């Protein structure tokens, strides 16, 4: 489904389905395009659609405020500095065989793994 | 108008895909990142699957003169692997590992009413704004 959505955006309107990029465009109100607003809206509404078929999956998210805030700040800053996230680099960029995206993907995967390792197995925090 | 409909549709589909594949569940995401623990390969399969479909989409896109609505197909052209890219990816990876949420799932979680999303996403917005503010100074 992720692939199909990506392809629809690419072939349909010629744009990359990189969520961090699309979302950050909303923070530049003078230049944001309507399709970007609607894309994000689509993401937000999708759980409502999902629930027409079945109850939402149970998810377990950390309840630690410092972790949530810290993680949010890092993800926000990092995705802008690095020009993308798991959808933009991980799916779209690698699908284009972009060396930049491969480098970015390997890097964020590596640091994600290291963070979980240290957080879980060394510090017992995660 | 069609552009907007396609945008909305793609967003809905992407969101549904994330929900169906379990990618909105940090347990699954961190389970994938926890390669030394109880490893959950799901994320790799989801990303891989998306990547394969997108790969064929890109091939099709290269053969098309323009998108379905007539606009140019806008693919990034930068090729240089620089410090910004790698440091950005590093910071993103760390943040991702801490809570197991990245932008897409985070935004979808807003729609599920999970309170944590209402802390994570505003923080993410602040992070993005900080970058936007610093950007001219970073060169």
To the nearest 10 degrees (0 to 180), the angle between helices A99-116 and B83-99 is 40
The verdict on a CB contact (< 8 Å) between B79 and A57 is no
Asked whether the CA dihedral B43, A25, A111, B120 is positive or negative, the reply is: negative
CB A98 within 8 A of CB B55: no
Whether the pLDDT of residue B125 is over 80: the answer is yes
Q: Using one digit for the tens of pLDDT, what is the confidence trace for A93-104?
A: 999 999 999 999
CB atoms within 10 A of CB A63: 10
Q: What is the mean pLDDT of residues A40-54?
A: 96
Q: Can you tell me the ipTM of this complex?
A: 0.93
DSSP secondary structure of B67-118: -TTS------------HHHHHHHHHHHHHHHHHS--HHHHHHHHHHT-TTHH
Helix ranges (H only) for chain A are 2-13, 19-25, 34-53, 65-81, 94-95, 99-116
Are B11 and A39 within 8 A, CB to CB?
A: yes
Q: Is the pLDDT of residue A57 over 70?
A: yes
CA distance A119 to chain B (A): 7
Q: What is the pLDDT of residue B139?
A: 62
Instruction: Report the candidate in B64, B24, B76, B74 with the shortest Cα–Cα distance to residue B46.
Output: B24
* Beta carbons within 8 Å of A97's beta carbon, 6+ residues apart: none
B47: closest CA among A24, A8, A106?
Answer: A106
Name the residue in chain B with its Cα closest to that of A12. Answer: B68
Residues of A with Cβ-Cβ distance to B97 under 8 angstroms: 111-116, 119, 126
B44 touches chain A (CB under 8 A): no
Region B12-24 average pLDDT? 95
pTM of structure: 0.93
Comparing CB atoms, the residue among A14, A20, A95 nearest residue B55 is A95
Q: What is the mean predicted confidence (pLDDT) over B87-101?
A: 97
Structural domain including A27 reads 2-122
Contact of B9 with chain A, judged by CB distance below 8 Å, is answered with yes
SS3 B1: coil
**Does the beta-carbon distance from A91 to B61 stay under 8 Å?**
no
Q: What is the mean pLDDT of residues A40-48?
A: 97
User: Would you state the pLDDT for residue A126?
Assistant: 82
For chain A, how many structural domains are there in total? 1
Nearest CA in chain A to B80: A100
Using the Cβ of B118 and the Cβ atoms of chain A, whether some distance falls under 8 Å is answered with no
Q: What are the residue boundaries of the structural domains of chain B, listed by start?
A: 2-138
Residue A77 scores a pLDDT above 70:
yes
* A80-95 pLDDT tens trace: 999 999 999 999 999 9
Label residue B77 by pLDDT band (50, 70, 90).
confident
**Residue A52: which pLDDT band, with cuts at 50, 70 and 90?**
very high
Report CB contact under 8 Å: A99, B95. Answer: no
The pLDDT mean for chain A works out to: 94
């Amino acid at each position: 489904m992720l692939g199909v959505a990506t392809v629809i955006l690419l072939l349909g309107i010629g744009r990359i389905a990189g969520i961090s990029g699309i979302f950050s465009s909303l923070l530049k109100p003078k230049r944001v395009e309507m399709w970007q607003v609607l894309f994000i809206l689509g993401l937000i509404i999708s759980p409502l659609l999902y629930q027409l078929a079945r109850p939402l999956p149970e998810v377990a998210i950390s309840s630690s405020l410092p972790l949530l805030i810290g993680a949010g700040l890092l993800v926000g800053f990092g995705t802008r500095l690095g020009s993308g996230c798991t959808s933009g680099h991980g799916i779209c960029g690698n699908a284009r065989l972009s060396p930049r995206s491969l480098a970015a993907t390997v890097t964020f995967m590596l640091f994600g793994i290291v963070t979980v390792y240290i957080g879980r197995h060394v510090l017992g925090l995660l | 108008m069609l552009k907007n409909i396609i945008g909305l549709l793609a967003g809905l589909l992407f969101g549904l895909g994330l929900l169906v594949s379990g990618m909105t569940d940090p347990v699954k995401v961190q389970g994938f990142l926890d390669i030394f623990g109880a490893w959950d390969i799901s994320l790799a399969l989801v990303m891989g699957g998306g990547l394969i479909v997108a790969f064929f989409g890109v091939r099709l896109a290269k053969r098309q003169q323009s998108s379905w609505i007539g606009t140019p197909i806008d693919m990034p052209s930068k090729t240089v692997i620089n410090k910004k890219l790698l440091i950005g990816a590093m910071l993103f990876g760390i943040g991702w590992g801490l809570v197991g949420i990245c932008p897409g799932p985070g935004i979808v979680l807003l729609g599920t009413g999970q309170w944590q999303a209402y802390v994570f996403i505003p923080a993410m917005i602040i992070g993005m704004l900080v970058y936007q503010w610093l950007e001219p100074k970073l060169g």
